[in-house]
Structure 1
Amino acid sequence: MLAQREEPKKKSTRSKKQTTKTNEKKKAKKKERRVSTTDPEARVMKMGDGGWRPSFNLQFAQDTKENFIVGVGVTNVGSDKSQMLPMCAQVLARTGVRPREWLVDGGFVKLAAIHEMEAKGTRVYAPVPKPRDEEDDPYARKPKDTDETWRWRRRMKTESAKRKYRQRGAHAELVNADLRAWRGLQQLPVRGESKVRTVGLWMALTYNLLKWTKLVPMPA
């Protein structure tokens, strides 16, 4: 049996101040936003396949009756948590009607946004996050809950709310799949947030026009 000789440990010559500076630099590097070298307005985001690529967060809002696109949003932030209120405001501006119900996935869940949506009369249907403690009831009122956010928690506990939320996939994912397969959403040919928004609007317009031709009978 071979045994490796243990070398005497050397005392570190680094001071506590140097170690603190190194740790601060590492933390700053972690917080540093990833920027694309080819598009200053894009951000390198983690993709569904696990890779990292320069991207924009392009979002669409649809009505659940006819599946028309009624809102187009573009940001260079990977998180969706701050996108619920701007998209709802856009839908209101475009249609003149405040949505009575709003279906979003768990990435959009932010208590402040849900509070404002509920306070203005829009019922939010979004999954309640699982608590860290498995024994904690996710539907029980939390210390940071307002009456509005607690109403959302109680609603999502019901079977009727869960059935309604399942409609989201049949609408949002259908539109996303169509845009990826037929409108070129997989890879954008432009740079810059304003141009990406223009492409998103053209995609939405094309999709809506094709929907319209199927719903409205053409003159003979």
Structure 2
Amino acid sequence: MSRFRPIDRQTEYLLPPSVQDWLPDSHLARYVVDVVEGLDLSELERAYSGRGSDAYHPAMLLSLLIYGYATGTHSSRKIERATYDSLAFRFIACDQHPDHDTLASFRRRFGEQFADLFVQVLQVARENQLSRFGMVSLDGSKIHANASRHRALSYGHAEKIEAQLKAEVQEMLKLAEAADQGNVPEGVDLPAEIARREARLAAIAAAKARIEARAAERFAREQAEYEAKMVKRQAKQAATGKKPGGKPPKPPQAGPGAEDQINLTDEDSRIMKVAGGGFEQCYNAQAGVDTESMLVMNPHVTQAGNDKKQVEPMLARLQALPEGLNRPERLLADTGFFSEHNVQCCQDAGVEPLIAVGRDAHHPDWRSRFEEPAPLKAPASQVEQMKHTLKTRAAYALRKQTVEPMFGIIKSVMGFRQFLLRGLDNVRNEWTLVCLAWNFKRMAVLRPQ
């Protein structure tokens, strides 16, 4: 006869249980708590007035959010539920159960402070000698916004619907004023129908105004770029005495185009082309990743679907980091970041650029992997020098081993494929929190065991 261990859920503990016995010493939750409690949270603590009932400590709420994002639990409601169901969350929360409103309010209220905490964690990594922070890989990935692309409204479609609604309102007003309302379908409440259409017209007018404001900002920016190009072209013609080759740049068009869109759920998000084909309502999440440790050094979110203009601002943010983190020797990036201007920006910042200038052919001849490039002929431009360095492939190959796996793990393992918050500022704060959680996961793996 088989023997089984008894099932007994009634016997009480002989001694009170201790939260310290719940998790092994190497558990990620312990590491998150240890590092967070060593950070300077004085700015967060001062934000509490001290009135009313005792508040949950910011260190506990921050640890819950970091561990939640690191393990794929992003929703504040799911984190609240996990403080009951999960030993790790119970350990972090000290067997307390902050409700989802408290967690969500903390995430929104202190989102801007996440950037300062992010830098503090990088300093912890430097002090623990987890990396020399000498080489950075830059890449971006489209992450879905908390909005549907079907809630996007184009300027041309808005004008079409606006004309239709105005015509319907005029028709209903005439029916309402008529003495004989026999033409009104049974059950139709004309005042209610008119009010509903007028509300839609007001919403469309507000959306059109925002599209027009965006178009005005775009025109001012493009006009400045156009004038700069024309000045450069005229200077070249004056220096050489010859007309510059190529077509002259076209002047920008003022006003919104028919295809200019705004999303009625999250107006800061944009429709972007995504991997695998198609278009979705997204933000472009950027990350500069240390190639030695795979730690994110600088997270950022942009509304631009193209990466071409992200090198210069990323360099500025890297140089703004504290001493020891702000002097990368090399910057690696794929062909989406390549331009002569970006190469020049890297050189001016004292950073060697290794930016791919084009896509490599699939299945190249095996001999090409071992052939040394021909000597570079002098004089050579900075772009030509960079192309020659890229042919060695050794350093540039690190890009695919660092920044691309980081995005893959965040999306597939940590399960972060869509922002929960709306608005560009809130989304940037949430992306900082995601990268902070990623850094904790990496530091827990890299720490001396």
Deviation sequence 1:65-105 (CA, Å, 0-9, x none): 11111011111110000001111221222243221101001
Paired AA for residue 328 in structure 2:
P
Alpha-carbon distance between aligned partners in 1 of 2:389 and 2:448, rounded to the nearest angstrom: 40
Secondary structure (helix, strand or coil) at the match of 1:151 reads: helix
Are 2:327 and 1:98 equivalent residues in the alignment? yes
Tell me which residue corresponds to 1:149.
Answer: 383
Tell me which residue corresponds to 2:145.
Answer: none
Relative contact order, CA 8 A, sep 6+: which one is greater?
A: 2
Residues 118 and 124 in structure 1, CA contact (< 8 A), matched pair in contact too: yes
* Aligned pair partner of 2:351 in 110, 113, 122: 122
* Aligned pair partner of 1:191 in 402, 422, 426: 422
Deviation sequence 1:159-191 (CA, Å, 0-9, x none): 2xx222111011011100111023343111111
Distance 1:119 1:148, change over 3 A: farther
Paired AA for residue 201 in structure 1:
T
Are 2:338 and 1:109 equivalent residues in the alignment? yes
Paired AA for residue 310 in structure 2:
Q
Distance 1:34 1:50, change over 3 A: farther
Secondary structure (helix, strand or coil) at the match of 1:212 reads: helix
* Aligned pair partner of 1:50 in 254, 270, 277: 277
Distance 1:151 1:119, change over 3 A: farther
Alpha-carbon distance between aligned partners in 2 of 1:171 and 1:197, rounded to the nearest angstrom: 22
Q: Percent identity over the alignment?
A: 25
Are 2:293 and 1:66 equivalent residues in the alignment? yes
Residues 84 and 113 in structure 1, CA contact (< 8 A), matched pair in contact too: yes
In the TM superposition, residue 211 of structure 1 has moved relative to its aligned partner by: 1.7
Paired AA for residue 165 in structure 1:
Y
Unpaired segments ≥5 residues, structure 1: 1-23, 131-139
Distance 1:95 1:105, change over 3 A: farther
Deviation sequence 1:9-59 (CA, Å, 0-9, x none): xxxxxxxxxxxxxxx9xx944xx4443232111111111121211111011
Alpha-carbon distance between aligned partners in 2 of 1:106 and 1:163, rounded to the nearest angstrom: 17
Higher mean C-alpha deviation, range 163-172 or range 206-215: 206-215
Alpha-carbon distance between aligned partners in 2 of 1:93 and 1:103, rounded to the nearest angstrom: 19
Residues 269 and 281 in structure 2, CA contact (< 8 A), matched pair in contact too: yes
In the TM superposition, residue 204 of structure 1 has moved relative to its aligned partner by: 1.0
Alpha-carbon distance between aligned partners in 1 of 2:260 and 2:300, rounded to the nearest angstrom: 21
Paired AA for residue 214 in structure 1:
V
Deviation sequence 1:78-134 (CA, Å, 0-9, x none): 00000011112212222432211010011001211111212332111121237xxxx
> What is the TM-score with the length of structure 2 in the denominator?
0.36
Tell me which residue corresponds to 2:438.
Answer: 207
Summarize the alignment of residues 34-45 of structure 1 with structure 2, pairs less than 5 Å apart. 34-45=261-272
Alpha-carbon distance between aligned partners in 2 of 1:154 and 1:217, rounded to the nearest angstrom: 39
Distance 1:184 1:196, change over 3 A: farther
Tell me which residue corresponds to 1:175.
Answer: 406
Alpha-carbon distance between aligned partners in 1 of 2:260 and 2:352, rounded to the nearest angstrom: 34
Secondary structure (helix, strand or coil) at the match of 2:263 reads: coil
* Aligned pair partner of 2:316 in 82, 85, 89: 89
Alpha-carbon distance between aligned partners in 2 of 1:189 and 1:179, rounded to the nearest angstrom: 15
Residues 300 and 432 in structure 2, CA contact (< 8 A), matched pair in contact too: no
Alpha-carbon distance between aligned partners in 2 of 1:92 and 1:183, rounded to the nearest angstrom: 29
Paired AA for residue 381 in structure 2:
D
Secondary structure (helix, strand or coil) at the match of 2:313 reads: helix
Secondary structure (helix, strand or coil) at the match of 1:60 reads: strand
Distance 1:34 1:108, change over 3 A: farther
> What is the TM-score with the length of structure 1 in the denominator?
0.72
Q: Pairwise CA RMSD of aligned residues?
A: 2.4
Distance 1:86 1:169, change over 3 A: same
Paired AA for residue 83 in structure 1:
Q
Residues 102 and 124 in structure 1, CA contact (< 8 A), matched pair in contact too: yes
Residues matched between the structures, number = 175
